[in-house]
Structure 1
């Protein structure tokens, strides 16, 4: 018998939660260890999109982008991150979600909790950032895109390529060439709140010598965790996370996919020592479909 790290209670909650939405996937893990507590998919094709999917993660990516801005000294949680109506980067104009009020005096925490796209795009050309900065942050701090995860089953490690032109700006808000799955985003949350990258695993890993990502400076992790707390209590994730007790935090995302009228719904969050992420294809805003799935799993995990 092959022993896995799955938690019966969290797994049952995950399987029940994804049944509410077509084409949905969720992963939950334990930030303190990297153990995968639950993985569930509800898809016509039977594909394990939770572990092997490759899709734009939308604004859940702003966790990594915010870490990049903080680690490179561009701004900080309480530092400036103005949120104008539009932001133009190399001839491409980016907008915010319909109805978002601009705020030229916004801090990074405020632009993060409201999920202001333009604030992040306005900051990506600040020194010392380069075309490779987001890739370096993802690989070195969060262990993504290195092709070396050994989860115990087939999985995709995420991809954040170094790109120039409009795709550099798009990548900062989880569009363009960035590709993730719920496993990757649950791990991003785990790294963000603990400051350490612990490679997720479903089957106990044989120890090997490979270089592990070095994780985040304590100050960066503290700011990310607090910004996720604010997002869950007074930002875009508040409705989905309402009623959850304990130490909670989250980030929403909606990713536009060419040819689809409705965006993919993404959501990642934590409660205590459980992190989870979900994606619902064409589910709309992050809080609408993926959010309730994550909240249900976090409720079972605490």
Structure 2
């Protein structure tokens, strides 16, 4: 055989082998990424030809499919679409899918492997194949209160309420929000998309799970846990000085307003927590060390994401190269970041006697005849010792008495005012609280219109108490 022909033949064979290998790789390992991707045109058309399952909460339909003149199923968002939008998401012909519509796509369109038996029975019985229905843990009344508390004041931020004993999410509100119907409707999709994507408040972002920000003083719950796990008690002596100098630097950190804590000198950990004295927690955090702080944060779920059917970021303590960085981190500043969901889980862990439960949004999945196909079983994700949780509860009740004047309700809470940007940038304000097997976390970004004088007690706490009350917390 001519040498040139032989080389060309071998090269062609090599190309064929590469093509076969590539196709095998795609078919075997990338099927979910490509064939099942909601942006895949063919799969999307097939999906639109099948009745998609409903999404509901508390007996109210949040999302359903209706057949149009072309016999394709179009998605409609029925109940309070802006209140539920960042959780439910959207399914658009143009812009694909987001939220639970994306995360639970295979369940809703009926292709999930867990639905094989029910789909097979539909086929042999001659029924039209349907997607499965998803019932959420959200309480519509609590969700509405949470969203209205944010939106009526044009706040940017989020609220999460959950049941500490099980992990079920009762409310997850994000503001600013959006109407998914506007993205789904072909007549309004383009203009709505341009409006939402150009909004500086990022309405298409779920601010409860997809945004991680400095938590400020609510992080003192974790610093306190680290201290209590390493020899401290609520009566341990800590500094009450108005300011401290970070080790190895000339930088000073002060208490709010430059005040001393309980008159100056020294005080107890209980009093320092009650009045949220920065200086005490800077020194305490440095004393227990970075390893203890990281371990405590991990116990509360910082750095962990959850299988909710929604994108959620893990949060982080960031780099802690020295004691100066550790002191700043101990009061929830520097590189420390948490999501509102993680803040709610943190409060829920204390409420639940130290047991951290996996948060979840899907209560159960049902077939087209509404028969139950699967239900969620609560799962523990770790946590802290019961005696530590008991002492933290004592600290948080003292904090609530100081913040609210104690109106006779046994709420346990902690506020946070997180600095970011320069000294002229309004702080992020936080509030976490629990009572009666309900835990809540609130974030209002950039001071909520109160400027640099904004505090967690002034801005975020009233929202948290309203949501807590709506959920049966008191």
Q: TM-score, normalised by structure 2?
A: 0.58
Q: 1:110 aligns with which of 271, 275, 293?
A: 271
Please state how far the C-alpha of 1:84 moved relative to its aligned partner: 0.8
- Preserved contact between residue 151 and residue 203 of structure 1 (Cα < 8 Å): yes
- Give the aligned partner of residue 250 of structure 1: 413
The structural deviation recorded for 1:89 is 2.2
Tell me how far apart the structure 2 counterparts of residues 256 and 125 of structure 1 sit (CA, whole Å).
20
Structure 1 or 2: more strand by fraction: 2
CA contact (8 A) 2:243 2:258 kept: no
Distance (Å, rounded) in 2 between the aligned partners of 1:202 and 1:296 = 21
- Measured after TM superposition, the shift of residue 169 of structure 1 is 1.1
Q: Residue 468 of structure 2 aligns with which residue? A: 298
Instruction: Give the secondary-structure state (helix, strand or coil) at the position aligned to 1:169.
Output: helix
Pair 1:83-2:240 in alignment: yes
Partner of residue 219 from structure 1, selected from 387, 409, 413: 387
- Measured in 2, the distance between the counterparts of 1:162 and 1:4 equals 37
Using the TM superposition, name which of 155-164 and 106-115 deviates more: 155-164
Distance in 1, Cα, partners of 2:242 & 2:391: 25
| Rounded Cα–Cα distance in structure 1 between residues aligned with 2:310 and 2:304 | 17
Structure-2 separation of matches of 1:191 and 1:119: 24
Of 404, 415, 425, the match for 1:238: 404
Task: Pick from 120, 129, 136 the counterpart of residue 4 of structure 1.
Answer: 136
Tell me, yes or no, if the aligned pair for 1:63 and 1:192 is still in contact at 8 Å.
no
| SS of residue matched to 1:98 | helix
- Residue 276 of structure 1 pairs with residue 440 of structure 2: yes
Question: How far is 1:270 from its partner?
Answer: 1.1
SS at match of 1:287: helix
Q: CA deviation at 1:162?
A: 5.3
In 1, distance between residues paired with 2:419 and 2:266? 28
Query: 1:130 corresponds to which residue?
Result: 289
1:239-293 C-alpha deviation (Å, 9 max, x unpaired)? 5xx55x6431110100001135211111111121111111111222001111111
**Secondary structure of 1:200's partner?**
coil
Q: Which has the higher contact order (CA 8 A, sep 6+)?
A: 1
Higher alpha-carbon deviation: 83-92 or 220-229:
83-92
Task: Check whether the contact 1:15–1:40 (CA below 8 A) recurs between aligned residues.
Answer: yes
- When structure 1 is superposed on structure 2, of 158-167 and 78-87 the one drifting more is 158-167
Indicate conservation of the 8 Å contact 2:234/2:395, yes or no.
yes
TM-fit CA distance, 1:163: 1.1
How many Å separate the matches in 2 of 1:246 and 1:273? Answer: 14
Asked if 1:155 is matched to 2:321, the reply is: no
| Counterpart secondary structure, 1:214 | strand
* Of 34-43 and 255-264, the range deviating more from structure 2: 255-264
Tell me, yes or no, if the aligned pair for 2:240 and 2:277 is still in contact at 8 Å: yes
Please name the residue that 1:229 is paired with.
Answer: 397
Q: Is the 8 A contact 2:351 2:437 kept in 1?
A: no
Query: Aligned pairs, how many?
Result: 290
Structure (1 or 2) with the larger CA radius of gyration: 2
Q: 1:41 touches 1:49 (CA, 8 Å); kept in 2?
A: yes
Determine if the alignment matches structure 1 residue 203 to structure 2 residue 362.
yes
Does structure 2 conserve the Cα–Cα contact (< 8 Å) formed by 1:193 and 1:225? yes
Question: How much does 1:27 deviate?
Answer: 0.6
Distance 1:71 1:207, change over 3 A: farther
State the secondary structure of the residue aligned to 1:45. Answer: coil
Residue 301 of structure 2: aligned partner: 143
- Paired with 2:292 and 2:154, the residues of 1 have a C-alpha distance of 36
Pairwise CA RMSD: 2.1
Equivalent residue number for residue 100 of structure 1 = 259
Other structure's SS at 1:124 match:
helix
Q: Which residue of 1 aligns with 2:102?
A: none
Alignment of 1:186 onto 2:344 = yes
